[in-house]
Amino acid sequence: MKNWLITGASRGLGKAMAQTALSRGDKVVLAGRRLGAVQAVADAEPSRALAVQIDVTDGESVRRGTAEAIAWSPSIDVLVNNAGHGLHGAVEEVSDEEAREVFEVNFFGQLRVLRAVLPHMRRQRRGHVINIGSISGLLSAAGTGLYSATKFALEGVSEAMQAELAPLGVFVTIVEPGPFRTDFNGTSLLRAEAPIDDYSDTAGRRTASLRTTSGKQSGDPVKAAELIYKIAGSDAPPLHLVLGDIAIERARGKLRALASEIDAWEAPSRATAY
């Protein structure tokens, strides 16, 4: 039996992860910004589930909620760092305030949770951190520049953490999903408030297209949760989990394009040495 702490557990992949772990007999702390939303999920298994209020943008809320989780359970074996939301708009369209807000939730919020949980995992010399990133953390596109930047940042942190934590018995995995049938393209998707006409055929068109796919995405969050659960039980979990058909194709396309550019410019690039 494992003990889980899952942020953003009121809906989408976080909720599916919580329900999957509970169905396997594990204990789960479900964390969310609104306590009532996660309480409704926890009430289904009151002996093995605890709802705590964690607003990842509030350091005191993170410390208090994590302490409550550790007091309830003897250990945190798996942290699923899932809380976050989308932001769409051309890079020029996104204001400083909008950019800071999405970084505050998607990047600094995850850092706050990591800093609260990692001392506990280091002391017990075991654990598994699962950061929920995005295929947009491996490649960006029109309209996703600032959102992708938060996920690119999480990629860098996750790769460094693996090197730092592996000798201490703590695994790190960053999950890079493509489109899954959650509310991500619905109410969880924010749009820059000051659109510019010149970007209507690039960032604007892609944002409109994403809106129409809400509730129709090909990925099944329950199956995604089952795979993540399997990885959490592995003795050799991956650092990167590219999740879903679309994500795999996009990732492979990025690798091919990168390799092609390196090859095309290899000679003059190497010629820059003394």
The type of residue at 56 is V
- How far out from the chain centre does Cα 159 lie? 14
Residue with tokens 């598994």: 128
Residue with tokens 């003795």: 235
Q: Both tokens of residue 175? A: 């999950």
Give the residue numbers annotated as catalytic, written as ranges.
147
Whole-angstrom Cα distance, residue 155 to residue 239? 10
Residue with tokens 């129709």: 216
Q: What is the DSSP string of 84-128?
A: --EEES-TTTS-HHHHHHHHIIIIIHHHHHHHHHHHHHHHHT-EE
Residue with tokens 């289904």: 44
Greatest pairwise CA separation for the chain in angstroms: 67
Task: Tell me the helices (H) and strands (E) count for the chain, helix number first.
Answer: 10, 9
Q: Both tokens of residue 67? A: 């302490």
The β-bridge relationship of strands 189-191 and 86-88 is parallel
